[in-house]
Chain A
Amino acid sequence: MMKCKQATQLLSEKLDRPLSAKEKIHLAMHISMCGPCRQFGKQMEMIRDLSKSYSKTKESDDQ
């Protein structure tokens, strides 16, 4: 069974490379049972979205 430590690393690497079928299956099984890692996965994507809007939001900084 995959541990949170490995699961979180895959949740990050998912943003950088395509996961293998095996990794996807193990990750999906872990996520289905682990609330904190589920949150972590959502937050990884939020951090990506936040970073994308980072330079865009600079425009409203001083208005």
Chain B
Amino acid sequence: MTNANLAAELDNSAASLFEDTAFIEALRSQMLKFARLQVRDNQLAEDAVQEAMISAFQNIDRFARQAAFKTWVFSILKNKLIDQLRKEKRLTAASQLENGPNLNGDALIEHLFEANGHWQKDERPKKWDQPEHSVENQHFWRIFDACLDALPTKYARLFMMREFLEMDTPEICHNEEVSVSSLNVTLYRARLRLRECLEDHWFQKETS
């Protein structure tokens, strides 16, 4: 294929995505939000997003559809963030972060469970309906976002390393200077809170 043909081809398909300013701006702000949840330093987050965008632009000929494109750019961003987490000796390791306000840790556990270790009556998990339907629903994802935002920094960071970036335990522990058991307890508490938040703000509302 000649350069001219290639250029024409790109004009018709994927490269035009970058000319769609509204699309790119929306995508950029989503990526930035995602990166900031992971890398609390704004500049580092911006850099990762910038690099992911450039990398996407350089390899754009592989992507024609917006949907596939977004998934792909996010996967580039995830890799950038993982690289960054590996490279940096973190300014603040998770071991030094505060648990933050709201009910967390022991206070949350006391709130959820009776002294004898059983569920408080009101706090027993209810059945969640129609998860497939929820995933399609934009409102659900806004709630999911809000619940993630409401997690204390330390919980959110470790939770996202595990569930979003899919890093393994030794790597997270090494990066964040936490022990395996402390990581597992923090993930437990993060999931307890996230579960509680989703049930209170989405799953119960939907059924009532």
> B195 near A44 (CB under 8 angstroms)?
yes
Say whether A4 contacts B70, CB under 8 Å: no
Those of B164-185 within 8 Å (CB) of chain A: 164, 169, 180, 183-185
Asked whether, in the complex, the Cβ of B183 is within 8 Å of the Cβ of A16, the reply is: yes
CB contacts between A and B, total, < 8 Å: 105
B interface bracket (residues with beta carbon within 8 Å of A): 35 or more
A-B contact pairs, 17 of them (CB 8 A): A5-B118, A12-B184, A17-B180, A35-B124, A37-B119, A39-B125, A40-B195, A44-B195, A46-B131, A47-B191, A49-B131, A54-B164, A55-B34, A55-B71, A58-B70, A60-B138, A61-B141
Q: Are B164 and A60 in contact (CB under 8 A)?
A: no
A51 to B119 Cα, complex, angstroms = 25
Residue total for A at the interface (Cβ-Cβ under 8 A): 37
Query: What residues of B have a CB within 8 angstroms of the CB of A51 in the complex?
Result: 159, 163-164
A26 at the interface (CB under 8 A from B): no
| Closest chain B CB from A27 CB (angstroms) | 14
The main secondary structure of chain B at its interface with chain A is: helix
Instruction: State in angstroms the CA–CA spacing of A63 and B72 once bound together.
Output: 17
Q: Which residues of B contact A (CB under 8 A)?
A: 23, 26, 30, 34, 66-67, 70-71, 74-75, 78, 109, 113, 116-119, 124-128, 131, 135-136, 138, 141, 144, 159, 162-164, 169, 180, 183-185, 187-188, 191-192, 194-195, 198-199
Pair A43/B125 contact, Cβ less than 8 Å: yes
Q: With A36-B124, A43-B195, A60-B67 known to touch, is A8 a contact of B188 (CB < 8 Å)?
A: yes
Q: Given the known A-B contacts A36-B124, A55-B78, are A62 and B26 also in contact in the complex, defined by CB atoms under 8 Å?
A: yes
| Inter-chain contacts of B135 with A (CB < 8 A) | 50, 53, 57
CB-defined interface of A10-37 with B at 8 Å, one 1/0 digit per residue?
0011011100000000000000000111
Closest chain B CB from A60 CB (angstroms): 7
Write out the residue numbers on chain A whose beta carbons fall within 8 Å of the beta carbon of B23: 62
Known: A12-B187, A50-B135. A57 touches B141 (CB 8 A): yes
| Given A16-B169, A56-B71, A8-B184 contact (CB < 8 Å) | no
Q: Least Cβ distance of B125 to chain A in Å?
A: 4
Q: Specify which chain A residues have a CB less than 8 angstroms from the CB of B187 in the assembled complex.
A: 12-13, 15-16
